Amino acid sequence: AQSVTQPDIHITVSEGASLELRCNYSYGATPYLFWYVQSPGQGLQLLLKYFSGDTLVQGIKGFEAEFKRSQSSFNLRKPSVHWSDAAEYFCAVGTPNSGGGADGLTFGKGTHLIIQP
Amino acid sequence: NAGVTQTPKFQVLKTGQSMTLQCAQDMNHEYMSWYRQDPGMGLRLIHYSVGAGITDQGEVPNGYNVSRSTTEDFPLRLLSAAPSQTSVYFCASSLTGGYGYTFGSGTRLTVV
């Protein structure tokens, strides 16, 4: 079975500084990979996704992520964070089924991002 | 375009009671799934469906039941509520799953 590890439970970054959130997965092949963001009391919003092709993917709100097959990683980055980026971030994987879809997602436990003024 | 709609937003149940959490989507998505979110645990998959009439179990299915009679609706039934089912429940839908899921705003359930 697949699994997702987000090693950092909390990360504190100063406003304007760069950000990198780590995600490692365990799966025998290349899964579908996603990053979601959740603001307090809200649902989850998809930031970006990877399923094939260019290993550097761009998402919404200025985020990008890089898929590294050799490291089984899919780290999320942003060059300059804003106070509004404070939220919970989840990495997730979907395993391709025979039809090319993904039946459901396996999530990491999340990283809580705190922005210092 | 409403997206994924979950009702109710909040619910308090007594131990042993049953209830149904409703989920509806208007995007003609074939894939739908239910998750529960507990502090420090991320989201865990309860049940999923890849089309009307087709459902399967996820990681934590015990105590929950689902059916998918239409493409639009995917209700989650708690058969006999237990305090361990106190959680926030999210429904999600996707065209195929590989392009990512759209999530509802959640139902916060407390079982006393």
Q: Which tens digit of pLDDT belongs to each residue from A13-28?
A: 999 999 999 999 998 8
Which residue in A32, A103, A110 is closest to B42 by CB distance? A110
Which residue in B43, B94, B98 is closest to A100 by CB distance? B98
- As a whole-number percent, the residues of chain B with pLDDT over 90 amount to 89
B91 vs A1, more confident: B91
Are the beta carbons of B42 and A108 separated by less than 8 Å? yes
Q: What confidence score (pLDDT) does residue B10 get?
A: 97
B25: contact with A, CB 8 A cutoff:
no
3-state secondary structure at position A84 = helix
Mean pLDDT of chain A: 93
**pLDDT over 80 at A102, yes or no:** no
pLDDT confidence tier of residue B80, bands split at 50, 70 and 90 = very high
Determine phi and psi for B60, rounding to 5 degrees: -130, 65
- As a whole-number percent, the residues of chain A with pLDDT over 90 amount to 77
Count the neighbouring beta carbons within 10 Å of the beta carbon of residue A5.
Answer: 14
Q: What confidence score (pLDDT) does residue A40 get?
A: 87
pLDDT confidence tier of residue B1, bands split at 50, 70 and 90 = low
Q: What confidence score (pLDDT) does residue A85 get?
A: 97
**pLDDT over 70 at B16, yes or no:** yes
Query: Chain B contacts of A35, Cβ < 8 Å?
Result: none
Mean pLDDT for A64-79 is 96
CB within 8 A of A106, min separation 6: which ones? A1, A2, A3, A4, A92, A93, A94, A95, B45, B59
Are the beta carbons of B33 and A103 separated by less than 8 Å? yes
Query: Chain A contacts of B105, Cβ < 8 Å?
Result: 42-43
Query: Chain B contacts of A100, Cβ < 8 Å?
Result: 96, 98
Q: Which of residues 43-102 of B touch A (CB under 8 A)?
A: 43-45, 48, 50, 56, 58-59, 90, 92, 94, 96-102
